[in-house]
């Protein structure tokens, strides 16, 4: 497990042992902090048949490893919505008696994607849970959840590791530790940083730094840079925003702050399909060449 999750995990298992664990837990926190992993590890502990909780060797742990535990139901989606059918199916299963005479667990990842009818279906189980049933949910955007759902869960904030913890974890898995700026540009998440390094399809932060250097020295035009980065427009816009906020912190230059805000609003506009991405990037890169 990611080391920065272990204290919260230990606390939750301790509360379970003391019969004080809430049946509906909502893990909130930024993207790539490890909420999914935490919910899976906790589910494993809740279902484990051994004293050690998550022993990896009991029947329950082995079934989880094989992806076929009859009392664990995970809802995930790569679509834009979690529909009512997926939620109803999971609920109907936990309404039956546990097949391994233990707890029953539903995990819902990115729970904010539930449709309104899916939320309402879940609400009943949250209000009147069947015995020994736990609902573990994760979200980056709790504000999108119905207030009725929010008020019936215990909300747990999963925090990112600090810079030193991030570097020591990255080094422990053989990744050279980033600079503070590079980590900030990846949302301060060492997981995002690692994933990007390992993805051969994407341009890395090093290339971005190089583009900035060339733009400043006049060896690159905003137009060419925009074309080069248009396939990763949102990412590079966030990086540019990070660059400007750092500049603002250094110099208290209001123009830098204005550019930062322009990056924020551009990042939002880039969510709309059919937009001319290179045109937006051209404007943003143009501010670098004006330096
Ligand atoms: Zn076990």
Please tell me the distance from the alpha carbon of residue 48 to that of residue 284, in angstroms, as a whole number: 53
Look over the chain and give the mean of its residue pLDDT values, rounded to a whole number: 93
Q: What is the dihedral of CA 162, 163, 168, 171, to 10 degrees?
A: 140
What pLDDT sits at residue 99? 85
Residue 291 has pLDDT above 70, yes or no: no
Residue 230 has pLDDT above 80, yes or no: yes
Q: What is the tens place of the pLDDT at every residue in 181-209?
A: 889 888 899 999 999 888 877 888 889 99
For the chain, what's the residue count? 291
Please tell me the distance from the alpha carbon of residue 248 to that of residue 279, in angstroms, as a whole number: 25
The Å distance, Cα 55 to ligand 1 centre, comes to: 4
Residue 62 has pLDDT above 90, yes or no: yes
CB 184 within 8 A of CB 241: no
What pLDDT sits at residue 196? 85
Please tell me the distance from the alpha carbon of residue 41 to that of residue 60, in angstroms, as a whole number: 13
Tokens matching residue 111: 């729970």
Tell which wins on pLDDT, 101 or 237: 237
The Å distance, Cα 22 to ligand 1 centre, comes to: 21
Tokens matching residue 135: 């609902």
CB 280 within 8 A of CB 269: yes
Residues having C-beta closer than 5 Å to ion ligand 1? 48, 50, 55, 58, 61
How deeply is 80 buried, as exposed, middle or buried, from its count of CB atoms within 10 A (0-12, 13-18, 19+)?
Answer: exposed
Alpha helices in the chain (DSSP H): 6-17, 35-47, 59-65, 84-94, 116-127, 147-151, 163-172, 180-185, 190-198, 205-217, 222-229, 233-251, 254-269, 277-289
The Å distance, Cα 47 to ligand 1 centre, comes to: 7
Please tell me the distance from the alpha carbon of residue 259 to that of residue 254, in angstroms, as a whole number: 9
Domains of the chain (ranges, CATH numbers): 3-157 (3.40.50.300), 163-289 (no CATH)
| Average pLDDT rounded to a whole number, residues 76-102 | 91
Query: Which residues does residue 74 pair with via DSSP β-bridges, in sequence order?
Result: 107
The Å distance, Cα 138 to ligand 1 centre, comes to: 23
The Å distance, Cα 152 to ligand 1 centre, comes to: 29
| Average pLDDT rounded to a whole number, residues 272-283 | 91
The Å distance, Cα 13 to ligand 1 centre, comes to: 13
The Å distance, Cα 154 to ligand 1 centre, comes to: 25
Query: Which residues does residue 82 pair with via DSSP β-bridges, in sequence order?
Result: 114
Please tell me the distance from the alpha carbon of residue 229 to that of residue 75, in angstroms, as a whole number: 34
Tokens matching residue 85: 């059918």
């Amino acid at each position: 497990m990611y080391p920065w999750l272990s204290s919260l995990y230990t606390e939750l298992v301790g509360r379970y042992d003391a019969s004080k664990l809430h049946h509906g837990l909502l893990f909130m926190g930024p993207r790539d902090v490890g909420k999914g992993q935490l919910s899976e590890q906790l589910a494993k502990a809740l279902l484990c048949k051994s004293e050690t909780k998550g022993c990896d060797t009991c029947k329950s742990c082995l079934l989880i490893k094989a992806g076929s535990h009859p009392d664990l139901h995970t809802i995930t989606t790569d679509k834009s919505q979690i529909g009512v059918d997926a939620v109803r199916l999971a609920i109907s299963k936990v309404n039956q008696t546990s097949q391994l005479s233990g707890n029953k667990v539903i995990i819902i990842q990115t729970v904010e994607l539930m449709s309104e009818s899916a939320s309402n279906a879940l609400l009943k189980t949250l209000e009147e849970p069947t015995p020994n049933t736990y609902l573990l949910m994760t979200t980056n955007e709790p504000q999108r959840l119905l207030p009725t759902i929010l008020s019936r869960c215990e909300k747990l904030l999963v925090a990112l590791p600090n810079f030193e913890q991030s570097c020591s974890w990255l080094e422990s898995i053989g990744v050279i530790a980033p600079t503070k700026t590079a980590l900030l540009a990846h949302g301060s998440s060492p997981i995002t940083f690692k994933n990007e390094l390992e993805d051969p399809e994407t341009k890395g932060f090093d290339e971005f730094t190089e583009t900035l250097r060339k733009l400043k020295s006049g060896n690159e035009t905003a137009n060419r840079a925009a074309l080069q980065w248009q396939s990763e427009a949102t990412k590079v816009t966030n990086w540019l925003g990070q660059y400007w906020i750092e500049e603002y912190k250094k110099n208290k230059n209001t123009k830098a702050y204005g550019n930062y805000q322009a990056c924020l609003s551009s990042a939002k506009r880039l969510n709309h399909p059919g937009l001319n991405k290179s045109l937006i990037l051209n404007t943003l890169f143009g501010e670098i060449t004006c330096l």
